[in-house]
Amino acid sequence: MNIHEFQAKRLFAQYNIPVPDGKAVYSAEEAAQYAKEVTTDVAVVKAQIHAGGRGKAGGVKLAKDKKDIAVYAKELLGKTLVTHQTGPEGRCVRKLLIEEGIAIAKELYLSLLIDRTYSRPVFITSLEGGMEIEEVAEKTPEKVIKEYIDPSVGFQQFNGRNMAFRLGLAPEIIKQFIAMAGNLYRLLTEKGASLIEINPLVITKDNRLIALDAKMSFDDNALYRNEDIKALRDLDEEEELEIEASKHGLNYIKLNGNIGCMVNGAGLAMATMDVIKLAGSEPANFLDVGGGASKETVKQAFQILLADKNVKGVFVNIFGGIVRCERIAGGIIEAAKEVEIKVPLVVRLAGTNAVEGLEMLRESGLNLEVASDMWEGAQKVVKLVMGSV
């Protein structure tokens, strides 16, 4: 789960990580109201969406005059912001963060995340802040500093010093940096975050270290431990179809391709996506209907699949181990009664009651093709979709 910058900054404040003074607002009137409280000459109006790259896309405005705060607020609210992270459809701006302006002397980069390969948290920091860290890592990898933390002992002062010295920070900044790193570590571990990213982390002209931006992601499986974090979920920022799928206990992730996949088991679902790519197309989704799928969940899954306008063909790939193939067939037939299937459908059923399932599908009169293995199925559906565009 991701949260907004203003929410992450509230958590930062709770953990003594310095952030600019500011307020989240939902309307131009509220923005104008807050403008009266701003004490600095310059204020910053920032679009709150779950995506980075807002600065370049016009989602971060510097208001040099207090009156401009409401003007920019009006301009941004309701606007669809397209950044390199939102995809071409962009994101609608519903909230803003108004902040007091900071006089920046230097922009750095600092993040803390879980490195799955090494099974431990790692800090990543660089003097090259404000720009994309991926680009820095690619062009000048020597400018990216990593500090691994041993989770059995946790963050130690020397970890902070290692980073501060390698960055070459001035003595008055080093202490603040070490304290900040320690606080970030506490925040990550106590709240079950998988990533905290500060880009830019700034050194101000009066030598203070402040988090100017804040991004946080949480491990969904740890959300039960922190009700306060769970409450930060913003459904406006999530894919509608994914929310619908989660209500039915389905593991559905929307992707950008045009072949809808209905599969049981995460491993088979991943393999199915690979095989679709291998056959020359792209999957429209990841969908694992699970082992205990009932006719009802299959029906829901099928409807969610077809609700995606990009879907130009569907590949059902089921290996009946725990799940029984006739239930899958029943679910598809039920779903087809409610939504017309206008795209090619290829079905591969194997395992428990596969023969019965295929028989049911055949008798239903549905327009579909049967495949005897997944490679044949993937090739068939890709060919049908290519032929229909």
| Residues near 310 by beta carbon (within 8 Å), at least 6 away in sequence | 256, 257, 258, 284
State the Cα–Cα distance between residues 326 and 334, nearest whole angstrom.
Answer: 12
Is 58 one of the binding residues for ligand GDP (CB under 6 A)? no
- For residue 104, state whether it binds ligand GDP (rule: CB under 6 A): yes
Amino acid residing at 287: L
Judged by beta carbon, residue 44 or residue 360, the one nearer ligand GDP is 44
Contacts of 231 (CB under 8 A, 6+ apart): none
197 catalytically annotated: yes
Q: Which two tokens stand for residue 197?
A: 């990213």
Residue 8 beta carbon to ligand GDP: minimum distance, rounded to whole angstroms: 11
Q: Are strands 215-218 and 251-254 parallel, antiparallel or unpaired?
A: unpaired
Instruction: For the CB of residue 99, give the shortest distance to ligand GDP in the complex, in Å.
Output: 6
Note whether 90 binds ligand GDP by CB under 6 A.
no
Q: Which residues bind Mn ion (CB under 5 A)?
A: 199, 213
| 52 near ligand GDP (CB under 6 A) | yes
Per the listing, tokens 């789960």 go with 1
* Residue among 4, 9, 50, 54 that touches ligand GDP (CB under 6 A): 54
- Lookup result for tokens 């809808």: 260
- Window of 27-35, 101-109, 285-293, 304-312 that interacts with ligand GDP by CB under 6 A: 101-109
Give the Cα separation of 289 and 344 in Å (integer). Answer: 20
Residue found by looking up tokens 């920046």 in the block: 104
Q: Say if CB 187 and CB 155 are below 8 A apart.
A: no
CB nearer ligand GDP, residue 44 or residue 301: 44
Q: Give Cβ neighbours of residue 15 (< 8 Å, ≥ 6 apart).
A: 183, 184, 186, 187
Asked if 44 touches ligand GDP (CB under 6 A), the answer is yes
**In angstroms, rounded to a whole number, what is the distance separating the alpha carbons of residues 303 and 283?**
17
Interacting residues with ligand GDP between 296 and 325 (CB under 6 A): none
Kindly indicate which of the ranges 49-57, 111-119, 244-252, 369-377 contains the residues binding ligand GDP, using the contact rule CB under 6 A: 49-57
- Residue closer to Mn ion (CB basis): 60 or 174: 60
Q: By C-beta, is 5 or 326 nearer to ligand GDP?
A: 5
Residues that bind ligand GDP in the complex, under the rule CB under 6 A:
20, 44, 52-55, 60, 99, 101-102, 104, 107, 130, 199-200, 212-213
Indicate which residues carry an active-site annotation. Answer: 109, 197
